[in-house]
Structure 1
Amino acid sequence: MLALHADVCGEQPVVWAGRIIGFGEYRYLYESGHGGRAPLLAFAPGPTKHTVYLVNDFSERWPELMTSLGKHRASKACLYLTRLTGVDRDALRTLLERSLAETLSSDALTTRRR
């Protein structure tokens, strides 16, 4: 996961909030005035599942990748993987690439820092 995220993002890992491994950083600002900082790509390893953070509605945007990914669960912006051995790495890489591209093209994005 470390090598894959770093390769896709081109950034070094940094720990966010004590357990999230993030790559790169961007600032966002919504029309409401709410804003903040977030990693461009991120995941959180865990004892029972690994959480991969992606753009909102990723599973609805790219259902063909979700089908080929292997065993997983998905929420609005999180992909949950219990075992990495059964995951289609090409599908995961494509999800990360598309999520990164969507984040970088987002209207909410204000700046990107390296």
Structure 2
Amino acid sequence: MIERFDTGPRMSEMTIYHGVAYLAGQVPEDTSADIVGQTEQVLQAIDDLLRLAPTDKRHILRAEIFLADMADFAGMNQAWDKWVPEGATPARATVQAKLANPAWKIEIVVTAAVP
């Protein structure tokens, strides 16, 4: 059975199937924040969704990070390194991409195991 969370007409924020949670791309709400602030907002949104699964960041299998500008790589990593659990770092890719909203500096997609 597929479980869907925060389902709208276009997408769900998260789906779960066979013990794996697939999160939609998470973006910041406050676009006036710098890259560290926007990253912290996105990571909090990920924590909130994972809690619904229920799982947590220790069970993230893969993270895909989209940055509007690679000049923000160091700032993003500053927030990421504080958040990611030592010894439970997921597979990760970071790329530069033109995001749907020009005010967004970051979007993160994660896939996590649901124990």
TM-score, normalised relative to structure 2: 0.26
TM-score by length of 1: 0.26
Bigger RCO (CA 8 Å, 6+ sep): 2
